[in-house]
């Protein structure tokens, strides 16, 4: 101000040079005007500074709001996502438990599935598949079952995904609606822009207000707000946080986080509500992680497919559970062997594996060689062939054969260029397939055969015939010889008890002549000679005798057609016995066939003869 007065004096002196001077009033006016100008200049500068500060504050406020909103979204999203995680885990556990029940369910095992498919594919009344699908099931069961199981497990996967996605979405929607309602109720009571510190009566450290307000807010949402937490809240705000009966699933760890803060409750609530509304719009995109229970679905798939091995005699798939060390079996019944492509003399084999006796000859696939069933069981010891025939399981195959057998044969064999004769039932096949034989057994009962030798020979004879007893086209004649020959069984069907009672040892000498003479008489006496495929003479002796010229000459005089139906299977105890060699040569030259097996103990004739009588081929 002193400088201003000095400047006015200097200006007055300048005026004095020109003959003018300012009085006190003039100087006062000039002084006041100068003061006013200076004041205006300073005020304007202050105004500019204020405007700049206001702009900076606005920018800072916007930045602050962005940060606050961002943090609000983080908190809101974390609360919502934490609820989604909790519900997802719960429903994943529920889904796994439900699927584990299916894993243990007997109806979800291979045996049950094959039973179901059998009924659908073979049962005419319930047939749900085409004939081509049935053929595929017969020819490649593992592939069809695997495809069927894949379809079923895909449906299970889709069903569970849809079911539990819907549960998750509905549960989460209910949660969001509850949360939204609680926040909406709160927003109606909260004053806009009320700062955190305003809610509290007195705090030792005012900076703690945002943290404390966050914890109170989380307690309110969780429904776990203790009355003591409101002691420091001003009375006018206490009713805002009154607890409803319902609760929201906010984890205690999340609500107790010390670093979270709420500065402006109204902003927190509005931001939270906006986040909830965004989540509600996208609720249909909420999905359970189906991969988390894929293990159970694969277990179900494995159980339904079961063991992939197929029966070596009918190609039926094993229906056992696929566990280590299990025995293969077909609990739902084996296929008819014709379904695996087996023809016997151009006729279909309608046997099931359960029906095949130990001594039956089993024709192998795509070749003419055979093995008896007992040998096959030794080869395939990991397969358990049940001897008990289940008529119910057999019926589904025989019903299919009755309705579709001819079409099956045309499909299976005609296109392969194989001739076949269609037959509808087993009885017709057995009558046509079983060969007709007349067995003439000549057994030495001389003194040297008495005791163990004869008992062993008797057991061998019975054993060999037991393998052919099911063939009703076989007739047997048994001649016991020593010095003389006697016929104890005369051209009869095989009756094991009758034979056992008739075959006894009398002792005496040895006469080949009497044995072959009586054999000739019995063969010549057969009225329907041509009815039999063969007349086979089984001969055993432990000693020797002269060549039976007279008896064999009578064989030589038979018509050639009859001689060509006579075979000799001769067995003797001695090595290279000359008489037996000559007898065998006679049958080779004059009849159909002659064979000598020397050095054979009586205990061995059962196996030797059984190989000749075992003629049922399936």
Q: At 441, is the secondary structure helix, strand, or coil?
A: strand
Mean pLDDT of 49-63: 76
Q: Of 409, 430, 451, which residue constitutes the final position of a domain?
A: 430
User: Are 355 and 481 part of one and the same domain?
Assistant: no
Residue 248 confidence class, pLDDT cut points 50, 70, 90? low
Q: Which of 523, 513, 519, 528 lies closest to 579, judged by CA? A: 513
Q: Which residues contact 596 (CB under 8 A, 6 or more apart)?
A: 570, 571, 572, 580, 581, 584
- 320 lies in some domain: no
Mean pLDDT to the nearest integer, 55-60: 75
User: Is residue 43 domain-shared with residue 153, that is, in the same domain?
Assistant: yes
Q: In 10 A of CB 431, how many CB atoms?
A: 11
pLDDT > 90? residue 587: yes
Give the C-alpha distances (Å, rounded to integers) separating 326 from 300, 353, 354, 437: 18, 19, 19, 43
SS3 content of the chain, % helix, strand, coil (to 5): 60, 10, 30
Of 29 and 183, the structure prediction assigns the larger pLDDT to 183
Exposed / middle / buried, residue 164 (Cβ in 10 Å: 0-12, 13-18, 19+): buried
At residue 15, the pLDDT reads 61
Instruction: Specify the pLDDT at position 180.
Output: 85
Q: Is residue 155 part of a domain?
A: yes
Residue 438, pLDDT > 60, answer yes
Tell me the angle at which helices 141-187 and 131-139 cross, rounded to the nearest 10 degrees.
Answer: 110
Closest CA to 320 of 367, 408, 382: 382
**For the residues 243-260, what does the mean pLDDT come to?**
59
pLDDT band at 203 (very low <50, low <70, confident <90, very high): confident
Q: Is residue 274 part of a domain?
A: no
Name which of 372-381, 387-396, 404-413, 542-551 the model is least confident about: 387-396
- For residue 223, is it left (φ>0), alpha (ψ between -120 and 50) or beta? left
Query: Mean pLDDT in the chain?
Result: 83
Q: Identify which has the larger pLDDT, 480 or 84.
A: 480
Query: Please, which pLDDT band fits residue 127 given cuts at 50, 70 and 90?
Result: low
Predicted local distance difference test score (pLDDT) of residue 252: 58
For residue 198, the model assigns a pLDDT of 83
216 belongs to a structural domain: no
Q: Are residues 409 and 523 in the same domain?
A: no
Which of 4-18, 222-236, 570-584 holds the top average pLDDT? Answer: 570-584
Mean pLDDT across 80-90: 84
Domain boundary (381, 411, 430) is at: 430
d(CA 203, CA 216): 15
Among 83-97, 117-131, 161-175, 347-361, which stretch is predicted with the lowest mean pLDDT?
117-131
Instruction: Examine the pLDDT at 254 and tell me if it is beyond 60.
Output: no
* pLDDT at residue 141 is higher than 70: yes
Q: Are 499 and 608 part of one and the same domain?
A: yes
Confidence of residue 551 (pLDDT cuts 50, 70, 90): very high
Given this model, what pLDDT does residue 143 score? 93
Q: H helices within 140-281, ranges in order?
A: 141-187, 209-222, 235-238, 252-255, 265-281
360 and 477 together in one domain: no
Mean pLDDT calculated for residue range 546-559: 93
The domain boundary residue, chosen from 382, 399, 430: 430
pLDDT for 445 beyond 60: yes
pLDDT at 46: 80
Residue 361 included in any domain? yes
Cα separation of 412 and 349, whole Å? Answer: 14
pLDDT category of residue 615 using cuts at 50, 70 and 90 = low
Which residue has better confidence, 611 or 384?
A: 384
- Whether residue 195 lies inside any domain: the answer is no
Shared domain check, 445 and 594: yes
Query: Is the domain of 485 the same as that of 344?
Result: no
At residue 434, the pLDDT reads 66
Same domain, 551 and 506: yes
Q: For the chain, what is the domain count?
A: 3
- Domain extent at residue 462: 435-613
- Tell me if 583 is assigned to some domain: yes
Q: What is the mean pLDDT of residues 176-180?
A: 85
Q: What is the CATH number of the domain that holds 569?
A: 3.40.50.410
Same domain assignment for residues 23 and 141: yes
Q: How many helices (H) and strands (E) in the chain?
A: 20, 10
- Greater pLDDT, 15 or 448: 448
One domain, residues 448 and 424: no
pLDDT for the residue 289: 82
Q: Are residues 479 and 570 in the same domain?
A: yes
Q: What is the pTM of this model?
A: 0.65
**pLDDT (tens digit per residue) in 325-370:** 889 999 999 999 999 988 887 888 888 888 888 777 888 777 667 7
Greatest mean pLDDT among 54-63, 144-153, 389-398 lies in 144-153
Higher-scoring residue by pLDDT: 71, 18 = 71
533, pLDDT greater than 80: yes
**Per-residue confidence (pLDDT) for residue 20, from 0 to 100:** 65
The residue behind tokens 């995109």 is 285
Q: Are 468 and 616 in contact (CB under 8 A)?
A: yes
Question: 544 with 564, same domain?
Answer: yes
Is there a domain that residue 447 lies in? Answer: yes
């Amino acid at each position: 101000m002193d400088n201003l007065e000095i400047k006015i004096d200097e200006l007055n002196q300048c005026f004095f040079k020109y003959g003018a001077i300012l009085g006190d009033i003039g100087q006062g006016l000039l002084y006041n005007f100068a003061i006013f100008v200076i004041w205006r200049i300073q005020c304007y500068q202050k105004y500019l500074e204020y405007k700049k500060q206001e702009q900076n504050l606005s920018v800072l406020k916007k930045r602050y709001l962005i940060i606050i909103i961002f943090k609000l979204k983080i908190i809101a999203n974390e609360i919502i996502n934490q609820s989604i995680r909790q519900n997802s885990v719960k429903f994943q556990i529920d889904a796994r438990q439900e699927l584990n029940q299916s894993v243990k369910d007997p109806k979800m095992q291979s045996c049950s599935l094959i039973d179901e498919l059998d009924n659908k594919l073979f049962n005419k009344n319930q047939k749900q598949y085409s004939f081509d699908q049935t053929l595929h099931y017969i020819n490649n069961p593992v592939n069809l079952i695997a495809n069927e199981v894949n379809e079923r497990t895909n449906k299970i996967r889709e069903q569970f995904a849809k079911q539990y996605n819907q549960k998750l979405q509905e549960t989460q929607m209910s949660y969001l609606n509850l949360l939204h309602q609680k926040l909406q109720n709160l927003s109606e009571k909260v004053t806009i822009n009320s700062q955190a510190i305003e809610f509290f009566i007195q705090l030792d450290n005012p900076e703690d207000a945002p943290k404390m307000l966050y914890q109170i807010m989380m307690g309110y949402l969780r429904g776990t707000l203790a009355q003591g937490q409101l002691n420091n809240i001003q009375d006018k705000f206490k009713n805002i946080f009154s607890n409803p009966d319902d609760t929201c699933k906010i984890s205690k760890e999340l609500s107790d986080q010390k670093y979270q803060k709420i500065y402006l409750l109204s902003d927190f609530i509005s931001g939270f509500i906006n986040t909830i509304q965004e989540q509600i719009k996208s609720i249909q995109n909420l999905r359970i992680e189906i991969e988390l229970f894929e293990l159970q679905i694969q277990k179900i798939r494995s159980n339904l497919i079961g063991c992939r091995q197929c029966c070596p005699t009918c190609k039926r798939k094993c229906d056992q559970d696929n566990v280590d060390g299990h025995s293969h079996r077909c609990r739902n019944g084996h296929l008819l062997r014709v379904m695996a492509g087996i023809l016997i003399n151009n006729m279909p084999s309608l046997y099931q594996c359960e029906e095949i006796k130990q001594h039956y000859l089993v024709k192998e696939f795509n070749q003419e060689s055979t093995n008896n069933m007992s040998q096959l069981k030794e080869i395939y010891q990991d397969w358990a062939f049940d001897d008990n025939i289940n008529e119910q399981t057999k019926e589904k195959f025989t019903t299919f054969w009755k309705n579709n057998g001819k079409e099956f044969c045309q499909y299976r064999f005609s296109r392969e260029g194989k001739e076949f004769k269609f037959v509808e039932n087993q009885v017709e096949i057995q009558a046509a397939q079983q060969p007709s034989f007349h067995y003439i057994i000549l057994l030495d009962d001389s003194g040297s055969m008495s005791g163990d030798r004869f008992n062993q020979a008797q057991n061998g004879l019975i054993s060999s015939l037991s393998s052919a007893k099911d063939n009703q086209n076989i007739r047997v004649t048994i001649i016991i010889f020593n010095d003389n020959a006697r016929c104890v069984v005369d051209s009869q069907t095989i009756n094991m008890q009758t034979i056992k009672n008739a075959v006894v040892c009398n002792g005496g000498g040895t006469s080949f002549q009497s044995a072959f003479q009586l054999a000739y008489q019995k063969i010549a006496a057969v009225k329907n000679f041509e009815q039999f495929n063969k007349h086979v003479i089984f001969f055993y002796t432990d000693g020797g005798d002269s060549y039976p010229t007279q008896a064999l000459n009578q064989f030589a005089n038979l018509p050639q057609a009859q001689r060509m139906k006579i075979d000799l299977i001769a067995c003797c105890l001695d090595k290279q016995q000359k008489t037996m060699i000559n007898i065998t040569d006679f049958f080779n030259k004059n009849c159909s066939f002659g064979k000598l097996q020397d050095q054979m103990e009586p205990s061995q004739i059962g196996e030797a003869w059984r190989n000749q009588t075992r003629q049922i081929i399936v």
